[in-house]
Amino acid sequence: MTKYVYDFTEGDKDQKDLLGGKGANLAEMTKLGLPVPPGFTITTEACREYLAHGSAPGELRVQVTMALRQLEDHLGRRLGDRHDPLLVSVRSGAAFSMPGMMETVLNIGLNDASVKGLAEESGDDRFAWDSYRRLIQMFGKTVLEIPGEVFSDALDKAKSAKGVASDVDLDVDDLQALVTVFKDAVRQHCGQDFPQHPREQLDMAIDAVFDSWNTDRARLYRRRERIPQHLGTAVNICTMVFGNLGSSSGTGVAFTRDPATGRTGAYGDYLANAQGEDVVAGIRNTLSLDDLKELDPKSHKQLLKVMRRLETHYRDLCDIEFTIERGTLWMLQTRVGKRTAAAAFRIASTLVDENLITMDEALSRVSGSQLALLMFPQFDRSAPRDLLTKGMAASPGAAVGRAVFDSATAKAWADRGEHVVLVRRETNPDDLEGMIAANGILTARGGKTSHAAVVARGMGKTCVCGAEELDVDNTSRTARIGSIVINEGDEISIDGSTGEIFLGAMPVVPSPVETYLESGVEAALVGADDETAGLVRAVDRLLTHADARRRLAVRANADTAADAARARSLGAQGIGLCRTEHMFLGDRRVLIERVILAGSAAERDEALAALLTLQREDFTELLDTMDGLPVTIRLLDPPLHEFLPDRTELAVKVALAEARGDSGPELDADRKLLAAVERLHESNPMLGLRGVRLGLLTPGLFALQVRALSEAACHQLLAGKDPRFEIMVPLVGSVMELHLVRDEAERILADVAAANGVSLSAPIGTMIELPRAALTAHRIADAADFFSFGTNDLTQTTWGFSRDDVESTVFAAYLEKGVFTISPFETIDADGVGRLVEIAAHEGRTTKPHIKLGVCGEHGGDPESIHFFHRTGLDYVSCSPFRLPVARLEAGRAAITARSASSA
């Protein structure tokens, strides 16, 4: 018999897959002896069964009955009893946190009879009726799918009729009247009464939580966060404790450290006399933990003790949800908390100083994508500024965009290429699409733990929240600050690191982390405040550790001396790919055109001679910049048509000239050119005359490049330098192709060396970017000193996807349909393309055990792919200069992960 239900006393924190994050951590806290209200968890497996069959397994209902009876016996109360009712909450909780995406229903067990029992037992009529109206409201919206406004509008109406602003100012009579209005609304929308039977309420709520796994917004969130769609959610049934029992009660959320900056010290938001989601919904502005200390020193002290215990136990920043019921503290949730990129680095480094984790663990707690976020520019502090107001710095970054006031507009404007800032009074989970589309998010209400803040931090998106002076009016699509009005479409700038909001577009400057990466710690510390200095030092510490740990070397893809210089300052240990075609595009394109179209050997030699000088200069400069480090020069690769004039344009030009009756040498030349272009035209140029094929079919072309390179190297040698070049042949499919190029290259190297009286040698290798090359790597290795995996072309040719077209035509639908969760051009398709890399690496090493293996496709800078290349045993990755720091960090993390996996 499958066990679908676990008591909180049964599980632990490592059972997230089965019990969801919330359930696993509730069990862990119970095990630690922390004050958790008793309850039980329904497994994710039950949810998967429910979703597959459209109904809960029969056995689940039985197991819920058993768990419920045990709970009732333990507490001496019955669910929904008319005298002393046990009430429970029903809360979702998947293996991965999905803040605000799924459902919660509180106060299950209340009905027309038990509300009176609750009133009597608590001695507080107002509390009992407030709890009942909350149940109908939440149940109505979540379980019965009645639009939320039906209830919130009625609540607003009740408040305005009474002339009060806050829910807490409604008295028993008002709440009783509201309950009647709510029940009428339920009858009107559903054609039946609000269910009075407690167990029926419970079962319906459980099913609703299961269903909430598949709402559009939850699916969208998972796609974005790359959470598999099939996992399902667990459901936690927990004894209710009440934060709405008057002023000595309340509810809050807290972090053991500041999740925005990583600063040490507890941080939290508290609302007295409130329940459940009131805190994160940003409905009323919250109090700080210091305020709580004033209000209730005993609970505050106990809370801090619990938080310290949790942090010591989890050895990481924890976030918690708690409730104080008449002076008694209850823990409702904990988890390792989300944090900004800056906080991640600072916390990891601080925890090492506190001897809670090792440097290896610290490195595993930060990621390349977090580092990439820290490299984004910031607002220029010296620029003139038009400060409108300040909110809370909820998620860092500098966002500039046009103000929009709803999610749909944010999406529509962003789709047409506008930068937008989504301005809301407060956000709710339905705003997710707009939040994704916007450059930044600005809210008037809510603290650092509000929905907007939590979700923005999770997405790495700039967010300022709780800007109280901001009066947001959705109807007129304006936001006012005193007499200043921001209209929809006005440009604003928000600073998620300071909370500042500016009118107009502020200029941006490099971030201190970027300055550190390019120019070192000292340069980044000039004028830095403590926070910035702490961040720079933490990044430096962790990146240095990654460099010490990694096995993969990190090279750059760079075509110019300027790129190479930048790459070198960012830690490149060589150039893994110099695409020489970039040296021939632009003005120099016609020179190649002349080589390709030459009518005679003499004409071609003349054109080649003109190129030789230019190439030699390019290579000399590059070798000089990278002196002492390997530089892989790839011989010409791109498809032929990139060097020839556009066929249509040329045809039109000739046709117009003929129509005008023109004649003369220009028209003759154009006609000749057009005939050649027509002759060389290809249907699939990416699969045509490119790479080694172009080299073998165009006499002298590769020879020119090898000669230029050899002469540049001689020049450097004679100048006392240390040039280390490698010659790389593109698009090889057969070892014969490589032999032909290699033989010629070796001859030229020897000639040039002899002519200059130096000894010259260079590794000659190939790209592995065609499936045939990968599958015959054991033979290709005979003629190659190294392999560099061209995973861009290898992905294109393995999938049969045209890399220039398919992302705009096919990928959106494929991502939507779940064919893949990320583009295979971004992250290596380990099962297919990756398999070819594994085969080629293995076969290559079988023939030549010390053959050097690298990768120079875009995947060389992608975190997940870097871990794959580490596992596959490659020697280096090569990527764009700006991705080098990310690659260094991830290569270090990959080494640590592999080590801990092998020692486990």
579 binds, among ligand PEP, Mg ion, none (CB under 5 to 8 A by kind): ligand PEP
The one segment of 243-251, 410-418, 624-632, 787-795 that binds ligand PEP by CB under 6 A: 787-795
Angle at 470 between CA 464 and CA 472, to 5 degrees: 100
636 binds ligand PEP (CB under 6 A): no
Kindly state the tokens that stand for 16: 């997230």
Q: Does 791 bind ligand PEP (CB under 6 A)?
A: yes
CA 828 to the chain's CA centroid: 16
Nearest distance from C-beta of residue 800 to ligand PEP, angstroms = 15
Q: Is 879 a residue of the active site?
A: no
Nearer of residues 769 and 858 to Mg ion, judged by Cβ: 769
Closer residue to Mg ion, CB minimum distance, 404 or 727: 727
Phi, psi dihedral angles at 400 (to 5 degrees) = -125, 135
Q: Does 124 bind ligand PEP (CB under 6 A)?
A: no
**CA-to-CA distance for 723 and 268, rounded, in angstroms?**
58
Nearest to 240 by CA among 152, 130, 163: 130
**How far is residue 825's CA from residue 697's CA, in Å, rounded to a whole number?**
30
Partner in contact with 791, chosen from Mg ion, ligand PEP, none, beta carbon below 5 to 8 Å by kind:
ligand PEP
# residues near ligand PEP by CB under 6 A: 10
Q: How far is the CB of 858 from Mg ion (least distance, A)?
A: 10
64 interacts with, out of ligand PEP, Mg ion, none, CB within 5 to 8 A per kind = none
Considering the complex, state which of residue 181 and residue 687 has its C-beta at the smaller distance from Mg ion. 687
- Please choose, out of 194-202, 498-506, 769-777, 818-826, the segment that lies near Mg ion by the rule CB under 5 A: 769-777
- When the beta carbons of 283 and 784 are compared against Mg ion, the nearer one is 784
Residue 792 assigned to a binding site: yes
Q: How many residues does the chain have?
A: 904
Nearer to ligand PEP, 255 or 789 (CB): 789
- Interaction of residue 140 with ligand PEP, rule CB under 6 A: no
CA distance 791 to 774: 11
**Toward ligand PEP, which CB reaches closer, 443 or 791?**
791
What is the spatial distance between Cα 420 and Cα 696, in angstroms, rounded to a whole number? 51
Residue 875 within binding range of Mg ion, rule CB under 5 A: no
Residue 40 to residue 9: CA distance in whole angstroms: 8
Residue 377 neighbours by CB under 8 Å, 6+ apart: 398, 508, 509, 510, 511, 514
451 is catalytic: yes
State the minimum distance, in angstroms, from the CB of residue 557 to ligand PEP.
7
793 sits near ligand PEP (criterion: CB under 6 A):
yes
For ligand PEP, the binding residue among 170, 538, 578, 856 (CB under 6 A) is 856
Which of positions 567-596 make contact with ligand PEP (CB under 6 A)? 577, 579
Nearer to ligand PEP, 176 or 792 (CB): 792
Residue 771 CB, nearest distance to ligand PEP (Å)?
A: 13
Q: Which does 856 bind (CB under 5 to 8 A by kind): Mg ion, ligand PEP, none?
A: ligand PEP
Q: Is the distance from CB of 516 to CB of 533 less than 8 angstroms?
A: no
Q: Which is nearer to Mg ion, 391 or 639 (CB)?
A: 639
791 is in an annotated binding site: yes
Alpha helix (H) ranges present in 406-552?
A: 407-415, 432-437, 451-459, 512-519, 521-525, 530-549
Which amino acid, one-letter code, is at 521? V
Q: Where does this chain touch Mg ion (CB under 5 A) — which range of 128-136, 384-392, 787-795, 873-881?
A: 787-795
Report in angstroms how near the CB of residue 345 gets to Mg ion at its nearest.
35
Catalytic member of 300, 451, 715, 859: 451
Q: Is 579 annotated as a binding residue?
A: yes
**Binds ligand PEP (CB under 6 A): choice among 21, 37, 534, 790:** 790
Cβ proximity to ligand PEP, 753 vs 822, nearer residue = 822
| Of 625-633, 745-753, 770-778, 789-797: span binding ligand PEP (CB under 6 A) | 789-797
The CA distance from 721 to 628, in Å, is 8
Binding of Mg ion at residue 576 (CB under 5 A)?
no
Distance of alpha carbon 582 from alpha carbon 575, whole angstroms: 15
**Cα–Cα distance, 112 to 648 (Å, whole number):** 79
793 known member of a binding site: yes
107 is in an annotated binding site: no
Judge contact between 774 and 837, C-beta under 8 A.
yes
Stretch that binds Mg ion, among 156-164, 179-187, 250-258, 784-792 (CB under 5 A): 784-792
Of 735, 841, 717, 845, nearest to 789 (Cα)?
841
What residues contact residue 59 under an 8 Å CB cut-off, 6+ apart?
Answer: 1, 2, 4
485 membership: H or E segment, kind and range:
strand 484-487
Candidate ranges 386-394, 407-415, 765-773, 832-840; the one touching Mg ion (CB under 5 A):
765-773
* Residue 277: other Cβ atoms inside 10 A: 18
Q: Is 481 helix (H, G, I), strand (E, B) or coil?
A: strand
Nearer to ligand PEP among residue 19 and residue 577 (C-beta): 577
Minimum distance, C-beta of residue 833 to Mg ion, in the bound complex (Å):
13
CB 479 within 8 A of CB 403: yes
Strands (E), 563-605: 575-579
Q: Which is nearer to ligand PEP, 624 or 642 (CB)?
A: 642
792 binds ligand PEP (CB under 6 A): yes
The reply to whether 769 sits near Mg ion by the rule CB under 5 A is: yes
Q: Is 698 annotated as a binding residue?
A: no
The answer to whether 790 is annotated as binding is: yes
Sheet with strand 478-481: strands edge to edge: 471-473, 478-481, 484-487
- Phi, psi at residue 605, to the nearest 5°? -60, -35
Q: Which stretch binds ligand PEP (CB under 6 A): 149-157, 701-709, 750-758, 788-796?
A: 788-796
Q: Which of 785, 793, 862, 875 binds Mg ion (CB under 5 A)?
A: 793
Numbers of helices and strands, H then E, in the chain: 37, 33
User: What's the DSSP call for residue 446?
Assistant: -
Q: Phi and psi for 817 in degrees, rounded to 5? A: -80, -5
Which position among 769, 843, 862, 875 is part of the footprint of ligand PEP (CB under 6 A)?
769
Q: CB atoms < 10 A from the CB of 687, how many?
A: 15
* Residue 89: CB atoms within 10 Å: 23
Nearest approach, Cβ of 565 to ligand PEP (angstroms)?
A: 21
Distance CA 285, CA 271 (A): 8
Euclidean distance between CA atoms 369 and 147, whole angstroms = 38
Say what the alpha-carbon torsion angle 620, 622, 624, 626 is, to the nearest 10 degrees.
-150
Within 626-700, where are the H helices? 647-659, 665-680, 692-697
> Is residue 790 within the footprint of Mg ion (CB under 5 A)?
yes
Indicate which of Mg ion, ligand PEP, none lies near residue 577 (CB less than 5 to 8 Å, by partner kind). ligand PEP
Q: Which does 259 bind (CB under 5 to 8 A by kind): Mg ion, ligand PEP, none?
A: none
Give the CA angle between residues 671, 672, 675 to the nearest 5°: 85
CA distance 87 to 81: 9
Of the residues 300, 856, 867, 870, only one is catalytic, namely 856
User: Least distance (Å) from ligand PEP to the CB of residue 146?
Assistant: 54
Spatial separation of the C-alpha atoms in residues 845 and 843, rounded to whole Å? 5
CB of 362 to ligand PEP, least distance (A): 33
- Active site residue ranges: 451, 856
Annotated binding residues for Mg(2+), written as ranges, equal 769, 793
Annotated binding residues for substrate, written as ranges, equal 579, 634, 769, 790-793
Residues interacting with ligand PEP, by CB under 6 A?
577, 579, 637, 769, 790-793, 856-857
Annotated binding residues, written as ranges, equal 579, 634, 769, 790-793
Residues interacting with Mg ion, by CB under 5 A?
769, 790, 793
